[in-house]
Structure 1
């Protein structure tokens, strides 16, 4: 993507199912789990660069010894900073010698971060502040092990205000108004209730207080705690956590909006945001990694027993297609194939746009994430060109000459790397003119390939959200090659509606498609449409979210996709460039063909999987009309 969009966080949960001595004997170090945690976090570093955190838990540590260790960072390289901190803390333990530090029994007794359970997190902040207090994992501490709660996740809720009020009604006083703190206290409340219920039960059965603690730890109903606490959650989420005595869980929303996969063998349980990173870190095949089902939680008990249990009734699967187009690692087999297919499906319309004039068309891409879609686009173009060659040859009949045959078969798409992503420019200069000049040099181009005022450049990007980089940088530098025409292609459809489930795209005014539709309405004397939508949105403000309708879809109804695309091209074309500019978007239909199992398309269609989505989009429109530059949830 030519524009940076912050998005879903990443997490890793690791449970070692053998004593630490086992890993020392088999793998040479008790650090086996810690090392795997580092590798899995590094492999997901694309999912969060605002912060990173790690929590380690020692199971069955005796009283008086610390059993939870945590390190968090919001520095420039947070993963490295966290693990550097862990190393420093390991090496400064009093009485530690190199030999003792290798001994798993001594290490568990004396060293921090030497445990059987690990939770790691990578944060992209889309809600709340960016201070260290907001970096996951977050903790709710208590002197009873079974009441301690550690939480990390990839989630955004649309109804934090509703859940917050419910906590207040219960008598709580949450320390902050963010989804992280709200979820922490929400789960914590039902954790406390479950503990208290079991305490009364075992007290009535005659157990001593000391024995009751062990009974609670062995019999805590994790599924029930998650089922009760998640009833009000509206949003996309994968929430991972652990309790102080050693139970752990990962819960996924019932629509499957946010992703989670897991791997289990007799040595280890690994759960992470992405399947491919588990394959790489654990060196296992794709069939050995399972997807956590929507509405379910993977529950790992203190004794190592693992179950996948239903927490919420699964709904129609609406897993996020934007994950597939851009955010997830392309090393996953199916994601790679889907991105190629997105490019291939664009080939017919692109050849029509250039009138099959292959000799005067150069195909390229915006580095680096659009590269896979580019391969698919080129494959599709080649296939269609070859079909055209067959028709030409058959049309010539038996009289075809060798020269004519050679002329036909040697026509090939011109495929070049035209845009080169250069070093990251630091736009520290204060005035806007200078900053824009620096932005224009983020990319460089390959000179001498394009024929001046003759060739058409077809350049694919994986998505076009705001269009800022296109206008300020990419189109300007491509124009230096003096093409006759530049066609910018998006492998994703037009992004028309805000996200509210984890991606930092919450403001309608940021989208070039929305701005184009508004401009068309005003140009054509249709201001009344804007006014009517605003009125309808305002009338719904105090309704329950379940009754709210997405009226923002009416903004786009008067126009075809092509009309909006043409207006986007007009708006994004910089002044003083010579080339004609056209913008082509993927269709919704082709998106669903390419990503058949991930049909969460609310960014493009406005069809939100949860009721809170409609509330967010209407609020976002109200904010736009009233000139408030703030997020809608």
Structure 2
């Protein structure tokens, strides 16, 4: 993606099922859990570079000794910072107490993160707030072990106002309306309620307080706590948490918008946002890594019992398709193939644009994340070349050896034309006046393009188009081709996302900008006021009745008309080469990624009422010239 956008966070959790000494003996280190968690986090660093955090819980610690530990960082290289702090605790213990360090029980009691439960998080901030205090995991602390709650997640909720009012009605005084606070306090409230119920029950039976605590530890039902706490949530989420006495959970939203996977054997339970990272960290085959089902929670009791239970009724599956296009790493077997299919599905439309003149067409791509889709595009073009070769071999009557050599040797022209200069990117400050330097972040390869050539350049998604407009197209134009065809392996992004991606302001999307321009150019300005009034009216209805009113602004225009207008908008002044833009079709997207049908940012078909409300509010903000976020 040539335009940077923040997106879904990442989670990782490790639960050891055997005593710490087992791992120290078998794997030669009491840091087995820390090492596995660190590897899971590092392998998911694509999911969060604004901050990182880890919390650990030690089981069965005696009163008076700490059993919950946490470290967070929003510094440069936060994952490394967090790991170093955990490792330092072990290193200092080994250096100061080399003999005691051989005793796993001593390590457990004396080294900070030597616990059986570890929960890690990688943060991409979507609201601009930064700093260590905004990093997960978050803690709700208590002197009662079974009331201590640690939560980390990959989530955005769209109905924070409603959840805030619910907490106030319960008698709470939330410190703000952030969704992290809503999640922590909603789960915390029902956790308190479950503790109180069990306390009253056994108090009536005459048990003393210590005995009651033991009963609560054994009988606390986290499944019921989650069911009560999350039934009013509207959004996309994976929420992972730990209870002080040792229960672990990971809960997924009913539509499966946000991803979550797990692995378990007789030694360990592991949870992560992506599948290949679990395969790598534990060296296990793909079939042993399972997906947490939509609306379900993976529960690991303090006893080690593992349950996979339905918490909220699953909705129609709407897994985020952007996970497949861009966000998740392409090392997943299925994602890798799906990205190739996205590129392959564009072949005929691309060849139509270049009039099948492959001799004078060069194929390339812009960001590294587009490379896999580019492979699919090139493979599809090569298949077309093979069909053309077959046609000539069968139809031409007098084939000479030279002609056969000519046919067999022809290959599409594939070149790497652009790379990012990482050192220059680091050198450039945030100074807005240094636009000329920013335009030079990309380097290009000279001497390959000819004046008669058309350059087809693949991007995995065009969101704002800012980098294309201010930098990339200008640089490519220096190469002297006649035409540039920019191809997006994703469809046009027309609507805001409110389930994890940092795309809340509709005015920032070049497809929306193109739609507005066409409305005005065709004398349909009345549509804008009609849609605005419909959005305002929709806000007065109950949230459950919300409908996306903005979707109608695109009705008068075909996708190609929007794409052509985008090409005009993106073409810099003074550009010599003609610029055309091709986007993936919605049908092509679903054919390539059949199991991830969440496409609301492309189609406006939101899976929850809160999504429709966010789209309408974003349009209202645009008309009212407000720069506020829509949720």
The interval holding the TM-score normalised by the smaller chain is over 0.9
Q: Does the 8 Å CA contact 1:483/1:579 hold for their aligned counterparts?
A: yes
Partner of 2:404: 405
Q: Does the 8 Å CA contact 1:128/1:134 hold for their aligned counterparts?
A: no
Q: Does the 8 Å CA contact 1:136/1:151 hold for their aligned counterparts?
A: yes
Mean Cα displacement is larger for which, 495-504 or 423-432?
A: 423-432
Distance 1:207 1:183 in 2: 33
Partner of 1:57: 57
Q: CA deviation at 1:92?
A: 5.3
**What CA deviation, in whole Å up to 9, does each residue of 1:249-301 have, x standing for no partner?**
00000100000000000000000000010000000110010000000000000
Partner of 2:140: 140
User: 2:460 aligned to 459, 462, 466, which one?
Assistant: 462
Partner of 2:418: 419
Partner of 1:297: 297
Distance 2:115 2:461 in 1: 43
Q: CA deviation at 1:436?
A: 1.9
Distance 1:204 1:14 in 2: 38
Q: Does the 8 Å CA contact 2:16/2:269 hold for their aligned counterparts?
A: yes
Distance 1:77 1:384 in 2: 45
Partner of 2:307: 307
Q: CA deviation at 1:99?
A: 2.9
Partner of 2:42: 42
Q: Does the 8 Å CA contact 1:298/1:307 hold for their aligned counterparts?
A: yes
Partner of 1:373: 373
Q: Does the 8 Å CA contact 1:358/1:411 hold for their aligned counterparts?
A: no
Partner of 2:283: 283
Q: Does the 8 Å CA contact 1:427/1:438 hold for their aligned counterparts?
A: no
Distance 1:558 1:550 in 2: 17
Partner of 1:272: 272
List aligned pairs for 1:225-374, cutoff 5 A. 225-374=225-374
**What CA deviation, in whole Å up to 9, does each residue of 1:470-515 have, x standing for no partner?**
0111101111110110000000000000000010001101100000
Q: CA deviation at 1:91?
A: 5.0
Q: Does the 8 Å CA contact 1:50/1:130 hold for their aligned counterparts?
A: yes
**What CA deviation, in whole Å up to 9, does each residue of 1:40-59 have, x standing for no partner?**
11001110111110001000
Q: CA deviation at 1:406?
A: 2.8
List aligned pairs for 1:378-457, cutoff 5 A. 378-397=378-397, 399-423=398-422, 424-426=424-426, 432=432, 434-451=433-450, 453-457=451-455
TM-score normalized by structure 1? Answer: 0.98
**What CA deviation, in whole Å up to 9, does each residue of 1:191-240 have, x standing for no partner?**
00111111111222222210111111111111100000001000000000
Partner of 1:479: 477
Partner of 1:186: 186
Q: Judging changes above 3 Å, is the alpha-carbon distance between structure 1 residues 446 and 374 closer, same or farther for their aligned structure 2 residues? A: same
Q: Does the 8 Å CA contact 2:9/2:154 hold for their aligned counterparts?
A: yes
Q: CA deviation at 1:80?
A: 1.2
Distance 1:625 1:431 in 2: 30
Distance 2:86 2:30 in 1: 15
Q: CA deviation at 1:88?
A: 3.7
Q: CA deviation at 1:565?
A: 0.4
Q: Does the 8 Å CA contact 1:236/1:258 hold for their aligned counterparts?
A: yes
Distance 2:19 2:344 in 1: 50
Q: CA deviation at 1:429?
A: 5.8
**What SS is found at the alignment partner of 1:578?**
coil
Distance 2:373 2:393 in 1: 30
Distance 1:242 1:431 in 2: 43
Aligned length: 630
Q: Does the 8 Å CA contact 2:242/2:248 hold for their aligned counterparts?
A: yes
User: 2:524 aligned to 523, 526, 529, which one?
Assistant: 526
Partner of 2:2: 2
**What SS is found at the alignment partner of 2:99?**
helix
Distance 1:90 1:389 in 2: 65
Q: Judging changes above 3 Å, is the alpha-carbon distance between structure 1 residues 420 and 94 closer, same or farther for their aligned structure 2 residues? A: closer
Distance 1:367 1:561 in 2: 24
Distance 1:134 1:466 in 2: 27
Correspondence 1:552 to 2:550: yes
**What SS is found at the alignment partner of 1:185?**
helix
Distance 1:430 1:52 in 2: 23
Gaps of 5+ in 2: none
Distance 2:89 2:333 in 1: 39
**What SS is found at the alignment partner of 1:76?**
coil
TM-score normalized by structure 2? Answer: 0.98
**What SS is found at the alignment partner of 2:55?**
strand
Distance 1:508 1:95 in 2: 56
Q: Does the 8 Å CA contact 1:427/1:435 hold for their aligned counterparts?
A: no
Correspondence 1:99 to 2:137: no
Correspondence 1:514 to 2:518: no
Mean Cα displacement is larger for which, 423-432 or 572-581?
A: 423-432
Q: Does the 8 Å CA contact 1:156/1:502 hold for their aligned counterparts?
A: yes
Mean Cα displacement is larger for which, 368-377 or 90-99?
A: 90-99
- Structure 1 runs (4+) deviating above 6 angstroms are none
Distance 2:29 2:341 in 1: 44
Q: CA deviation at 1:100?
A: 2.1
Q: Does the 8 Å CA contact 1:499/1:602 hold for their aligned counterparts?
A: yes
**What SS is found at the alignment partner of 1:425?**
helix
User: 1:580 aligned to 570, 578, 581, which one?
Assistant: 578
Partner of 2:18: 18
**What CA deviation, in whole Å up to 9, does each residue of 1:539-561 have, x standing for no partner?**
12222111111110111111110
Q: Judging changes above 3 Å, is the alpha-carbon distance between structure 1 residues 520 and 357 closer, same or farther for their aligned structure 2 residues? A: same
**What CA deviation, in whole Å up to 9, does each residue of 1:526-549 have, x standing for no partner?**
111111101110112222111111
Q: CA deviation at 1:426?
A: 4.5
Distance 1:304 1:431 in 2: 53
Q: CA deviation at 1:428?
A: 5.2
**What SS is found at the alignment partner of 1:121?**
strand
User: 1:495 aligned to 493, 496, 504, which one?
Assistant: 493
Q: CA deviation at 1:129?
A: 2.6
**What CA deviation, in whole Å up to 9, does each residue of 1:556-577 have, x standing for no partner?**
1111101110110100011112
Partner of 2:30: 30
Q: CA deviation at 1:143?
A: 0.7
**What CA deviation, in whole Å up to 9, does each residue of 1:388-426 have, x standing for no partner?**
2212222214x3333333333332200111111211524
**What SS is found at the alignment partner of 1:362?**
strand
**What SS is found at the alignment partner of 1:105?**
helix
Distance 1:506 1:303 in 2: 43
Q: Judging changes above 3 Å, is the alpha-carbon distance between structure 1 residues 214 and 122 closer, same or farther for their aligned structure 2 residues? A: same
Distance 2:248 2:341 in 1: 38
Distance 2:95 2:311 in 1: 46
Q: CA deviation at 1:102?
A: 3.9
Gaps of 5+ in 1: none
